[in-house]
């Protein structure tokens, strides 16, 4: 029976009042092709023929008793949801969302965005439940006129984003299809090659004069070689030109706001930015001094693990580590030191440090 199911496939009882037009009282039982339409002005349901009859001549008042709203034919449409309240709520939400289409990146903080969403929700609630409808409507219109440019920009952005997403999904589907095809072809080729190899071996066994064991051994070697070659070619898959690869971006994201990526957090520094870099001196790799040369080469010294570099680093560090050490003053006395002009920086500095330690200024 065609009566068994109605919109959405929900089984219905015969005589269900949803299947009777409230205007002409004709029922779906007698006219299985009857379609119901609603007008978002008042959401009163009526059949298609009633809409044609009453509103073809232009706007007319709603024929449902007690509802005097003026309806237009072009605004009638098919009901999407079974429940007319849901239908109405979806319409209102759509209308509000069209005006209040701010994006999260337009707000300084997430809290601001959430406040905005809450305000929009309050407005939607008012419209849904008939609280201060006229005031809310006028607020909505005012906002829409004031922010017309932003609203249209955001609408365009949203449209582009959804278009991009669709294009990307299509490209991914195409790529997956190509991959599947390549895998299938590879499998076929391998099968064919295997069969050919087997046929060859049989031929040789029948007509050739080689011993059977040799023939089998040779065929196994050839097969192994072929397989290895196939694996190598698989490791470097050559995509046909024009195929979108995973890395290349075939889309141009026009109009997308250039948002600065948040700077990645630096690893935790327990020293609070303090480094062991010296501001007063640069440690050289090699300091020239006869005494140091001896220490470098004498196995009596180096055998124990002693390194001159370590000594120089330490000497330099100690020379400059004191607070209020004025390098200029210390360098002035360099000529008096043993070693003369040939003395390296390290030695001079070490001597200076030693003097400073003893309290000799």
Q: What is the DSSP string of 61-88?
A: E--STT---EE-GGG-EE--SSSHHHHH
Nearer to Zn ion, 36 or 100 (CB): 36
CA angle 261, 262, 268 (to 5 degrees): 140
27 DSSP 8-state letter? B
| Min dist. Cβ of residue 10 to Zn ion (A) | 21
Q: Which one, of 98, 79, 76, lies nearest residue 88 by Cα?
A: 79
Distance CA 151, CA 155 (A): 6
Residues 241, 259: Cα–Cα separation, whole Å: 33
Task: Please tell me the distance from the alpha carbon of residue 142 to that of residue 2, in angstroms, as a whole number.
Answer: 50
Closest separation in Å from C-beta 9 to Zn ion:
23
> CA quadruple 238, 242, 243, 245: dihedral positive or negative?
positive
Given a contact cutoff of 8 angstroms between Cβ atoms, the answer to whether 68 and 62 are in contact is: yes
21 vs 123 by CB, closer to Zn ion? 21
Rounded to whole angstroms, the Cα distance separating 72 from 61 reads 9
Residue closer to Zn ion, measured from CB, 46 or 348? 46
The answer to whether 13 touches 41, Cβ cutoff 8 Å, is no
Which residues are near Zn ion by CB under 5 A?
21, 23-24, 42, 44, 47, 50, 62, 64, 67
Provide the minimum distance between the beta carbon of 265 and Zn ion in the complex, in angstroms, as a whole number: 60
Residue 72 C-beta: closest distance to Zn ion, Å: 12
Nearest approach, Cβ of 2 to Zn ion (angstroms)? 19
Name the minimum Å distance from CB 67 to Zn ion.
3
CB nearer Zn ion, residue 67 or residue 86: 67
Which residue lies nearer to Zn ion by CB, 62 or 347? 62
Nearer to Zn ion, 17 or 105 (CB): 17
Coil, helix or strand for 47?
strand
Q: Which is nearer to Zn ion, 24 or 215 (CB)?
A: 24
């Amino acid at each position: 029976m065609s009566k068994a199911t109605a919109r959405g496939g929900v089984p219905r009882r015969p005589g269900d009042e949803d299947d009777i037009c409230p205007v002409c009282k004709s029922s779906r039982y007698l006219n299985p092709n009857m379609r119901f339409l609603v007008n978002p002005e008042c959401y009163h349901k009526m059949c298609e023929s009633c809409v044609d009859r009453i509103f073809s001549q232009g706007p007319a008042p709603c024929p449902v008793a007690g509802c005097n709203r003026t309806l237009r034919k072009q605004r009638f449409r098919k009901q999407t949801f079974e429940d007319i309240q849901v239908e109405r709520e979806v319409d209102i939400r759509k209308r509000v969302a069209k005006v209040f289409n701010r994006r999260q990146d337009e707000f300084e903080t997430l809290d601001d965005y959430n406040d905005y969403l809450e305000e929009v929700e309050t407005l939607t609630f008012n419209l849904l439940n008939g609280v201060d409808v006229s005031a809310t409507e006028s607020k909505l219109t005012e906002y829409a006129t004031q922010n017309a440019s932003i609203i249209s920009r955001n609408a365009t952005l949203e449209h582009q984003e959804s278009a991009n997403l669709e294009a990307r999904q299509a490209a991914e589907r195409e790529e997956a299809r190509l991959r599947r095809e390549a895998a299938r072809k590879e499998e076929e080729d391998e099968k064919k090659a295997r069969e050919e190899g087997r046929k060859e071996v049989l031929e040789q066994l029948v007509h050739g004069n080689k011993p059977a064991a040799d023939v089998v051994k040779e065929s196994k070697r050839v097969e192994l070689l072929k397989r290895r070659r196939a694996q190598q070619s698989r490791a470097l898959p050559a995509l046909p030109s024009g195929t979108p690869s995973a890395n290349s971006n075939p889309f141009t994201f026009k109009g997308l706001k250039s948002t600065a990526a948040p700077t990645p957090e630096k690893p935790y520094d327990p020293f609070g930015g303090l480094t062991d870099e010296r501001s007063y001196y640069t440690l050289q790799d090699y300091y020239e001094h006869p005494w140091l040369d001896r220490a470098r080469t004498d196995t009596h010294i180096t055998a124990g693990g002693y390194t001159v570099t370590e000594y120089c680093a330490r000497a330099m560090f100690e020379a400059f580590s004191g607070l209020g050490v004025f390098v200029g003053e210390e360098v002035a006395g360099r000529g008096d030191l043993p070693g003369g002009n040939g003395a390296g920086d390290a030695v001079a500095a070490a001597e200076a440090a030693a003097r400073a330690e003893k309290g000799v200024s």
